[in-house]
Amino acid sequence: MTIEIIPTGAAAGAEIRGVDLSQDLDDATFAAIEDAYNQRGVIFFRDQTITPPQQVEFSRRFGEIEYNIFSERWSVTGSPEIVVVSNITENGAPIGIKRAGENWHSDMCYTARPPRGTMLHAIEIPDLFGLPLGDTEFASAAAAWDALPDTLRSRIENRHATFDFTGRKRAFPPKQSEIDRNPPVCHPIVRTHPFTGRKCLYVMRDDCTAIEGMEQAEADLLIAALADHIVKPQFIYRHQWRVGDVLMWDNCTVQHRAVQDYDMPQRRLMHRTTMGGSVPV
């Protein structure tokens, strides 16, 4: 295999060619993939044919599998590590989590040790007249930090925010037991990437509910201003899916949202795995 890494031209993202994820990857190939992932925040491989166990095995090379609230409700039969993300209903019941991640966010930021990253394998992609729908957008929180004026950088560096599981409106409201298992946590609003050392803004509307040592009214304004800044067009890569794509993002470098511009009979089916991370610093 000759691996090729092709940056998207946007602030994040690279396509990786010359890799067949159904085969064992040697250490040098994996190291090149991992480096592209760390540097670009989003990487994707087209035309992959992988089984659920192969997706789990590849995910595990980046970190232990992380289970979230959806794993308990919608996982792939025989592969509990994989969550089904889908709008498809079979026999009157949804086969997966519908409308997952339609607001800008970084996965499981409400936990003490948020995941390193998340991987999606595209099984079915909706379209209209052959035009793909259901894209996913990624915003580089690293490029957003780089673009801040020095005065604002020094004002927010070393600040911490409260991240509250109940702050965000979810497609499926969590159960009380899930709320009890996820009490509010505190994280820096400027994170240092654990592998590249790059600084990344870590602020989301709704998930961040307060900033330590700041009046609530000022904190609300600052959270909104930073959340809006991160998702400016110059920091965005928009991924247009094809069946067979395997794409993974880094939850420190980028935030993401799923574009909900389709509905049945347009079917979307993704297999998602989540890789464990480290405590944000």
- Contact set with ligand SIN (CB under 6 A): 85, 100-101, 118, 136, 256, 258, 270, 272
Catalytic residue among 40, 105, 121, 239: 105
- 40, 168, 268, 272: the catalytic one is 272
For residues 39 and 251, which CB has a smaller minimum distance to ligand SIN in the complex? 251
Catalytic residue among 116, 239, 256, 268: 256
Torsion of CA 55, 59, 65, 71, to 10 degrees: -40
Rounded Cα–Cα distance for residues 58 and 51 (Å): 11
d(CA 274, CA 124): 20
Cβ 92 to ligand SIN, closest distance in Å?
23
E strands in 8-88? 14-17, 42-45, 75-76, 79-86
CA distance 252 to 142: 8
Of all residues in the shown chain, the one whose CB is closest to ligand SIN is 101
- Least distance between ligand SIN and beta carbon 162 (Å): 22
Element (H, E) at 124: strand 117-124
Minimum Å distance from CB 139 to ligand SIN? 13
Residues 6+ apart with CB under 8 A from 152: none
How long a stretch of residues is the chain?
281
Short-list 238, 157, 159, 143, CA closest to 196 = 143
State which residue, 105 or 199, has the beta carbon closest to ligand SIN. 105
Is 105 annotated as catalytic?
yes
Cβ 101 to ligand SIN, closest distance in Å?
2
SS3 (DSSP) at 70: helix
Is 261 within 8 Å of 237 (Cβ atoms)? no
Catalytic residue among 107, 164, 207, 245: 107
Least separation in angstroms between residue 151's CB and ligand SIN is: 33
Q: Shortest Cβ distance from residue 148 to ligand SIN (Å)?
A: 25
CA atoms of 122 and 37, how far apart (whole Å)? 18
Q: Which is nearer to ligand SIN, 119 or 144 (CB)?
A: 119
Distance of CA 247 to the CA centre of its chain: 10
Give the residue with the Cβ less far from ligand SIN, 156 or 247. 247
Which residue's CB is nearer to ligand SIN, number 133 or number 214?
A: 133
Element (H, E) at 20: none
Nearer residue to ligand SIN within complex by CB, 87 or 209? 87
Q: For residue 143, give the nearest of 207, 236, 247 by alpha carbon.
A: 236
Q: Is 239 a catalytic residue?
A: no
Q: What are phi and psi of 22, to 5 degrees?
A: -85, -5
- The catalytic residues are 105, 107, 256, 272
